[in-house]
Amino acid sequence: MTVTPRERQEIDRANASGRTPVVFVHGLWMLAGSWQPWREFFEANGYTTVAPGWPEDPETVGEARRRPEVFAGTKVRDVTDHMAEVIAGLAVRPAVVGHSFGGLITQQLAGRGLAAVSVPIDSAPFRGVLPLPVSALRGAWPVIGNPLNYGRSVTLTYEQFRFAFANAVDENEARQLYDAYPVAGSGKPLFQAATANINPWTQIKVDTRNPERGPMLIISGARDHIAPWAIANASFKKQQRNAAVTEIVEIPDRGHSLVLDRGWRDVAETALAFVARHHPANG
């Protein structure tokens, strides 16, 4: 069992509420607390929410910044299996919303039939998604540019964060986001993603054909550097193989920080509208 005491408490709270649950999956360089405004927004609209961490995640940004080495060993399957364990504790199959690598993991969970409806946002690519835009390569280069980083945790400098996450906000907001959110991240997921199309045993696979996948909305920020439209649209075309509803929307003038920055509510409203249409709140 890898469910933490906090996660168990959130599962129990969700089950006791009797409300439709929504599970939020964060991405690389973030913690579960980054979803707090989204959780409050969804709960104000009748849902109950759970925001699991990745395995070994500290609970706070301060603790994570004091102990960056704890992230080093985490692989994508570790995270997906952990999220599946959390979902298994819920009395009702949840909606799942994820950002960046959390978007990839959201698609994997949907492909396992664990999501009633799913919303991957600025998702990392999976095997079979072929476009590799220069901006995405540049955004990942601080990690994959050094093979030794595979076994390390890597912290983004402000300049790296500004390019990869905060390119579509002004300098003042970019500084505020950098001070508030990013922590070290495992190098392994980025190396796994970079080799997914040449590694037949890759963990970066998504079952796009499972009839139990459920409706899916792919959201893409129009100015995202690290997961641009080319990746989102290629993922959408793969997901269209599924018989369930599959939609894609591009949010204008938004970068990779679209779930964190001052425009987060516009994105949350888009996600909520889709979730509510296919998995209504009962609270």
pLDDT tens digits, 60-93 = 999 999 999 999 989 999 999 999 999 999 999 9
pLDDT tens digits, 214-269 = 999 999 999 999 999 999 999 999 999 999 999 999 999 999 999 999 999 999 99
Q: Is the pLDDT of residue 34 over 80?
A: yes
Mean pLDDT of the chain: 95
% of the chain exceeding 90 in pLDDT: 88
Q: Would residue 283 count as lying in a domain? A: no
Q: Would residue 89 count as lying in a domain? A: yes
Residue 139: its H or E element: helix 134-144
Q: Is the pLDDT of residue 280 over 70?
A: yes
**How far, in Å, are 35, 47, 187 from residue 96 at the CA level?**
13, 12, 25
**Which residues, 6+ apart, have CB-to-CB distance to 279 below 8 Å?**
20, 95, 116, 117, 215
User: What's the pLDDT at 2?
Assistant: 85
pLDDT, average across residues 11-15: 98
- Mapping DSSP onto H, E and C, the string for 78-129 reads HHHHHHHHHHHCCCCCCEEEEECHHHHHHHHHHHCCCCCEEEEECCCCCCCC
| Distance between CA atoms of residues 23 and 103, nearest Å | 12
Q: Would residue 247 count as lying in a domain? A: yes
Q: Would residue 147 count as lying in a domain? A: yes
Residue 22: its H or E element: strand 21-25
Q: Would residue 61 count as lying in a domain? A: yes
User: What's the pLDDT at 137?
Assistant: 83
CA 226 to chain centre: 13
CATH number at residue 189: 3.40.50.1820
Grouping H, G, I as helix, E, B as strand and the rest as coil, residue 155 is: coil
pLDDT, average across residues 186-198: 90
More confident residue, 135 or 105: 105
User: What's the pLDDT at 142?
Assistant: 87
Q: Is the pLDDT of residue 13 over 80?
A: yes
pLDDT, average across residues 117-139: 90
Q: Would residue 237 count as lying in a domain? A: yes
CB 81 within 8 Å of CB 55: no
Q: How many independent structural domains does the chain possess?
A: 1
CB 275 within 8 Å of CB 45: no
Q: Would residue 251 count as lying in a domain? A: yes
Q: Would residue 40 count as lying in a domain? A: yes
User: What's the pLDDT at 91?
Assistant: 97
User: What's the pLDDT at 141?
Assistant: 84
Say what the pTM is: 0.96
User: What's the pLDDT at 167?
Assistant: 97
Q: Is the pLDDT of residue 139 over 90?
A: no
Q: pLDDT category, 1, cuts 50, 70, 90?
A: low
| Distance between CA atoms of residues 244 and 203, nearest Å | 24
Whole domain around residue 9: which residue ranges?
A: 5-278
Q: Is the pLDDT of residue 135 over 90?
A: no
